Amino acid sequence: MNFCLKIFIFILLLNFKVTSAQESISINEIESKLIQNKKYIIIELYTGWCGICAIQDKKIQKNDELIKLLENEVYHVKFDAESTESFILNGIKFENKNGKIHEFAKAISVDSNAFPAWVIMNPKFEVIFQYNGLIETEDLKSILLKLNKLY
């Protein structure tokens, strides 16, 4: 196989992997999305240095059914717990004043130093579920399917 053909196949495979990854929405989109359609909000707190977070993402990317649930049945927000982004959510301003863990991550998570952290909120921004650590894809699917029946 010649070198150009190998590069072409590599680019195709890379492109496929990128397009099959789960989509999430920005924290800034939540309120406008809730106006259009009331759904539960699932926030995946992560950090760039968290190896378990990378493992979690790889497990999710391998499960098409879970990706569809995250994209269609809830508002899935991936939020970097060390983000420097400032925003207002439900009338409250959140920012990262100390350059470490963001105020938002501290406000919604029981242990704001353990990642990944999963937080589920109802459309009124009330936390109804929290989990710190790697969550198995089948367990996450089960939780999301149960949420569908609640709302």
> Would you kindly state where each structural domain of the chain is located, as residue ranges?
24-150
In this structure, are residues 79 and 45 in contact, taking their beta carbons and an 8 Å threshold? yes
Q: Rg (Cα) of the chain, in Å, rounded?
A: 17
d(CA 4, CA 134): 39
In this structure, are residues 75 and 123 in contact, taking their beta carbons and an 8 Å threshold? no
Region for residue 91 given its phi and psi (left: phi exceeds 0; alpha: psi -120 to 50; beta: otherwise): left
Tally DSSP H helices, then E strands, for the chain. 6, 6
DSSP class of 79: E
Whole-model pTM: value is 0.81
Q: May I ask the CATH architecture of the domain 24-150?
A: 3-Layer(aba) Sandwich (3.40)
Question: Residues 3-32: what's their mean pLDDT?
Answer: 59
d(CA 113, CA 98): 14
Asked if the model's pLDDT at residue 71 lies above 70, the reply is yes
Position 113 confidence tier, pLDDT thresholds 50, 70, 90? confident
Specify the pairing of strand 127-132 against strand 117-121. antiparallel
At residue 24, the pLDDT reads 85
Question: Residues 7-15: what's their mean pLDDT?
Answer: 44
